Amino acid sequence: MAFSALFFSPKSSLPKMLPARPLTPKFRHFSLPLLRCSSTSPPAASFDLRGYWTSLIPQIESQLEAALPVRFPERIFEAMRYSVLAGGGKRAPPIMCIAACELVGGDRSAAFPTACALEMVHAASLVHDDLPCFDAAPLRRGRPSTHARFGVDMAVLAGDALFPLAYSHVVARTPQDLVPPATLLRALAEIARAVGSTGMAAGQFLDITGAAAAGEANVVAVLEKKFGEMAECSAACGGILGGAGEEETEGLRRYGRAVGVLYELVDDILMEEAGSNGKMRSNASVVVALGMDRAMEMLEELRAKAKRALQRFGDKYGDRVLPLYSFVDYAVERGFVVEAEGEGKAASAASATAAGAGDGNGDIGVDGNCGPSGE
């Protein structure tokens, strides 16, 4: 199986991240793996992640739009729609969910409603994270955050309403002929675990209480809870809905957790590189707490960890592992731009700017555009 070679291939030596601006010496420590995520001239083991991703976005947007009609009481729905739809988003959780489902041989229709539900849950958690009592973020995706636009009360309500809407959506929309009820219950339990008191809520708590200041293990714990859980849940749900057993689901959990943390870590590094004053960063900044050198080491460790978690899938499923595999490198390289409006508008490369990094508060894949690297 060619995938063993792929997983242990020697790294290429050229740093391709952030090519649109001068790389600092620190970034020159970077080295990329053999596999590249490009839609042009793909090498043998390459995969057009950009094409895969952008082809799914219109469907995701369309389902989210339909799930959030404006109806009475209008203002709640407006706040919910604003939180989920306005300004778009890369829809990374849904993409990961669908890719995991297809990896294990599932029909993407089985995962689609849960994929969209994950985006609702993701948006809800960001709306609450942005509240004045937590991150006090005035902006999200370059626009006023939900509480800044609609008021704190409406932001609390919008989040409170998006969580149950996600559950309703999964139950109402998942094709019964593709997903047995018992399987659907497992997926719902997975989402509940991820957002709950040992998951993202714990991450938010640890972040606001400054746990990240207490050494590497604590920084990692905060990152895993606050940022790893969503990706972990996305990959696990996709696997479950695609028919994965417990062991495979566990592998997908490890993969997702590593990628979620990796994505945030890269955002953190990019903000440091861009000279951010750290104002909008999570308290759990590896760069601030442990320094850039350790951050760069951790980046490579996480990238390797995520790929290791996929190895068994590569051996078993062959090419079907490529979407998730290439997602790992995308998390580091941000090699293309994804636009939420879909309909083929994606993939216009943009120069890296300070604003090009994520908001530094957990919005995986949004505005995290680091310039072209698919060349």
Binding segment toward a second copy, per CB under 8 A, in 44-52, 76-84, 101-109, 313-321: 76-84
Print the binding letters for residues 202-221 with a second copy: x by CB under 8 A, - otherwise.
x-xxx-xx------------
Query: Measured between alpha carbons, how far is residue 69 from residues 77, 79, 88, 218, 345 in Å?
Result: 7, 11, 16, 41, 24
User: How far apart are CB 222 and a second copy at their closest, in Å?
Assistant: 10
Rounded CA gap, 99 and 248, in Å? Answer: 14
117 closest CA partner among 141, 138, 147, 97: 97
List the one residue from 5, 14, 66, 185 that touches a second copy (CB under 8 A): 185
3-state secondary structure of 8: coil
Interface with a second copy: number of residues (CB under 8 A): 49
End-to-end, the C-alpha distance of the chain in Å comes to 28
Binding segment toward a second copy, per CB under 8 A, in 29-37, 101-109, 191-199, 269-277: 191-199
Task: Specify the DSSP class assigned to residue 24.
Answer: P
Rounded CA gap, 161 and 181, in Å? Answer: 24
* Tokens 């994505």, residue located: 263
325 closest CA partner among 242, 241, 230, 235: 235
User: How far apart are CB 243 and a second copy at their closest, in Å?
Assistant: 16
Print the binding letters for residues 256-285 with a second copy: x by CB under 8 A, - otherwise.
------------------------------
User: How far apart are CB 133 and a second copy at their closest, in Å?
Assistant: 4
Q: Does 93 bind a second copy (CB under 8 A)?
A: no
Q: Does 80 bind a second copy (CB under 8 A)?
A: yes
User: How far apart are CB 81 and a second copy at their closest, in Å?
Assistant: 11
Interacting residues of 321 by C-beta distance below 8 A, sequence separation 6+:
3, 103, 310, 313, 314
CB distance 327 to 259 below 8 Å: yes
* 121-150: contacts with a second copy (CB under 8 A): 128, 131, 133-134
> Which parts of this chain interact with a second copy (CB under 8 A)?
71-73, 75-77, 80, 128, 131, 133-134, 151-154, 156-157, 159-161, 163-165, 167-168, 171-172, 180-182, 184-186, 188-189, 191-193, 195-198, 201-202, 204-206, 208-209
